[in-house]
Structure 1
Amino acid sequence: MTTDTMITEVVLPGVVEPDGLRLHRRAMPVPNRGQALVEVEATGISYAEQSMRRNLYPGQPKFPFVPGYDLVGTVRSVGPDGDDSLIGTRVAAVTKTGAWASHLVVDVDDLPPVPADLDPAEAETVVVNGVTAWQLLRGAELRAGQTILVHGANGGVGTVLVQLGRHLGLRVIGTAAAKHHDALRALGVEPLDYRDPDLAARVRELSPGGVDAVFDPVAGPGVRTSYDLLAPGGKLVVYGNASALGSATSIVWVFVKLLARLYTWNALPNGHRAGFYNFWAGRLTRPTAFRRRLRTDLGTVLDLLRQGVIVPQIAARYPLTEVSAAMVFAETRSRAGKVVLEP
């Protein structure tokens, strides 16, 4: 049992600049039946929180709320009639919100295990990001020797995706700012500058017949170019809409237009496939299957992390109390990987 009586959490009060994030103290929550109290050891800053700060993330809660998409931590107590053997075990959780806190109550069924010998911050880099990357590649049904194009290859998902791609025997072309190219080369990536006005031509120089899959977290106007770069039978997978961060248009309308475009392309007789990846697919309609898939896929990527197949890409570590500075750093994208908060 934890001996603390208070927790610290970060509150997003509204549409604010990073220095508008607020630290809040409140009484330690008590888990109910089927729940556990988790002491958070590592959480992170992702595109989701950057969007929520601007009120641009689909389905985000009403202000004020505590952000934080995922976490790694240790179970400190369980609810009535709970399994006491869970106390002291390291776990992960995908929360969508709420993880930017020193402690959090989570349903026991939503706590896949994390090996105790892994560094919590390193494990945190593959909770949502690693599972996303693994599911993206598996869904694309690729074969060793094929070529993929990864936009945002320096990002939290991108850095895991390119490593998994290389592990599976794929040739990986990755776009990022030039300052990240050396780091990407070290991961086995052929880097291109995403700001190059002749980017499409550069891709075609490297892969004249097109690429077998494009993974795009940005969407926006460039999504058409991504589609046009596909080889016969190729797949375009959009898994984010980062371009909307700078848009004054309703995020819902932007997303609807994107989906309409992707599904319209699927009706074309060229054999290409296009789709949008949703991490949460099946969470409400098939919760047991969703949890089983998350547990299995997270176990896979954690094992690859332990083996050294995945080298964790941590852009920076900040204490939770310095979340404003951490958010500023994350939004500069000055270093590849994920910014981790350590309560």
Structure 2
Amino acid sequence: MKITEIVLPSVGEPESLEVRLRERPQPGPGQALVRVEASGVSFAEQQMRRGKYYDMPAFPFVPGYDLVGVVEELGAPVGGGKPGPVVGQRVAALTKTGGWADYVLLDAADLVPVPDGVDAAEAETLVTNGATAWRMLFRTARVRAGDTVVVHGANGGVGSVLVQLARARGVRVIGTASARNQEAVAALGALPVDYRDDVPARVRELAPQGVAAVFDHVGGKGIHDSWRMLARGGTLVSYGSASTRDESGNGTLTVLRLVARLALWNVLPNGRSAYFFNLWAGKARNPQKYRADLAEDLTEVFGLLRDGTIQARIDSVYPLRRAAAAMRHAESGTVVGKVVLSPSADDDSR
């Protein structure tokens, strides 16, 4: 039996993506074959096609940072520990690459159960975005009820989840976005600020003593403004460099310069702290703890989705074979929510 996968052969435009067929793999010991129901189109893939993602694999490879699917086959169990997934169970996984396929072979230990009653595409919007938002809020910045925070790009994939999770915990949120997205940001429960205005001045009006945390995916020169918004004891969490997406040059160097700047700020005697958030930090050093923490965090996020506390925001669903069109749309600047790829979507899907 053949499987379908989308291959990024080299640096190029979205239209350079290739649809390829290969033999369906068989799970070995400790592995699971997952039939993919949904995979996302994220900023990571946009950087990868430009050759700028800071730890991307060598070309050619199959993109796909995360997925939701159903366990189709299991290899022989290995070791002890907690029971793993079962055939027929809906699961989620962070993959970094490989998710743009209709079947994916994964380590069974990396799979996180998706609760009954949660739609696959809706769950997919919260795998990377939900895990990132939850960890930055509650593991890195450790925000608490009554705090005020700034979320840049509050209408974006991670930003909108940050706002919802923070509001659910009683945190006041100031959210930056474009003028056309101010109403949507307000509907999420944040105080909207146009990112083209004097954001630091507006934040000072809303929080004269500064804010407890700033979540910044933009990077670039604006990172200095984010640092200055903090109150004493506040935390800056940087998790990207979207402002440099279309700039030429080495993406790794861009990230390293950003990390170096944050590290320098951390040694200043002003009571504030700065971090570069990496969703994969700790996995190589202690994979068992990493998996346990990820399962705990995603279980919390999926539970909030199931009970209606937070909402999944799906911009559009494209068939897997139309990955090029999906990526082109994801980069259009018009997206509200997550662009999702689905192997089962028909060709009339958008």
Bucket of the pairwise TM-score, normalised by the shorter protein: over 0.9
Give the whole-Å Cα distance in 2 for the aligned partners of 1:41 and 1:181: 32
Q: Give runs of aligned pairs for residues 133-172 of structure 1, distance below 5 A.
A: 133-138=133-138, 139-172=140-173
The answer (yes or no) to whether the contact 2:174–2:190 under 8 Å persists in 1 is: yes
- 2:317 aligns to what SS in structure 1? strand
Deviation, structure 1 residue 85: 7.1
Partner of 2:73: 77
Partner of 2:237: 237
Per-residue CA distance 1:124-144 (angstroms, 9 max, x = gap): 111111011111111212221
Give the whole-Å Cα distance in 2 for the aligned partners of 1:293 and 1:265: 28
Per-residue CA distance 1:77-114 (angstroms, 9 max, x = gap): 11245889711111111110000000000011111111
Partner of 1:179: 180
Alpha-carbon spacing, 1:50–1:208, altered in 2? closer, same or farther (3 Å): same
Question: Of the candidates 39, 46, 49, which is equivalent to residue 43 of structure 1?
Answer: 39
Partner of 1:341: 341
Deviates more, 1:74-83 or 1:221-230: 74-83
The answer (yes or no) to whether the contact 1:180–1:335 under 8 Å persists in 2 is: no
Partner of 2:279: 279
Alpha-carbon spacing, 1:85–1:104, altered in 2? closer, same or farther (3 Å): closer
2:214 pairs with 1:214: yes
Q: Give runs of aligned pairs for residues 91-106 of structure 1, distance below 5 A.
A: 91-106=91-106
The answer (yes or no) to whether the contact 2:316–2:338 under 8 Å persists in 1 is: yes
Alpha-carbon spacing, 1:85–1:242, altered in 2? closer, same or farther (3 Å): closer
Please list every run of at least 4 consecutive aligned residues from structure 1 whose deviation after the TM superposition is greater than 4 angstroms.
81-85
Question: Of the candidates 6, 10, 27, which is equivalent to residue 10 of structure 1?
Answer: 6
Per-residue CA distance 1:262-292 (angstroms, 9 max, x = gap): 1111111111111111111110110100000
Give the whole-Å Cα distance in 1 for the aligned partners of 2:142 and 2:152: 19
The answer (yes or no) to whether the contact 1:48–1:57 under 8 Å persists in 2 is: yes
Partner of 1:60: 56
- 1:221 aligns to what SS in structure 2? helix
TM-score (norm 2): 0.94
The answer (yes or no) to whether the contact 2:85–2:111 under 8 Å persists in 1 is: no
Deviation, structure 1 residue 239: 1.1
Per-residue CA distance 1:160-182 (angstroms, 9 max, x = gap): 11000101111111111112111
Deviates more, 1:11-20 or 1:238-247: 238-247
Q: Which amino acid aligns with 2:216?
A: D
Give the whole-Å Cα distance in 2 for the aligned partners of 1:154 and 1:333: 12
List runs of 5+ in structure 1 lacking aligned partners.
none
2:152 pairs with 1:128: no
Per-residue CA distance 1:46-81 (angstroms, 9 max, x = gap): 110000010000111111110000000001111245
Deviation, structure 1 residue 199: 2.0
Partner of 2:21: 25
- 1:322 aligns to what SS in structure 2? helix
Partner of 1:313: 313
Partner of 1:195: 196
Alpha-carbon spacing, 1:6–1:116, altered in 2? closer, same or farther (3 Å): farther
Per-residue CA distance 1:207-231 (angstroms, 9 max, x = gap): 2221111000111110001001111
Alpha-carbon spacing, 1:217–1:110, altered in 2? closer, same or farther (3 Å): same
Q: Which amino acid aligns with 1:119?
A: D
The answer (yes or no) to whether the contact 1:13–1:65 under 8 Å persists in 2 is: yes
Q: Which amino acid aligns with 2:51?
A: N
- 2:245 aligns to what SS in structure 1? helix
CA RMSD in angstroms comes to 1.4
Q: Which amino acid aligns with 1:106?
A: L
- 1:248 aligns to what SS in structure 2? coil
List runs of 5+ in structure 2 lacking aligned partners.
344-350
- 2:253 aligns to what SS in structure 1? helix
Q: Which amino acid aligns with 1:311?
A: Q
Q: Which amino acid aligns with 1:50?
A: Q
The answer (yes or no) to whether the contact 1:314–1:339 under 8 Å persists in 2 is: yes
Q: Which amino acid aligns with 1:260?
A: A
Identical aligned residues as a percent:
54
Q: How many residues align?
A: 338
Deviation, structure 1 residue 202: 1.6
- 2:304 aligns to what SS in structure 1? helix
The answer (yes or no) to whether the contact 1:266–1:272 under 8 Å persists in 2 is: yes
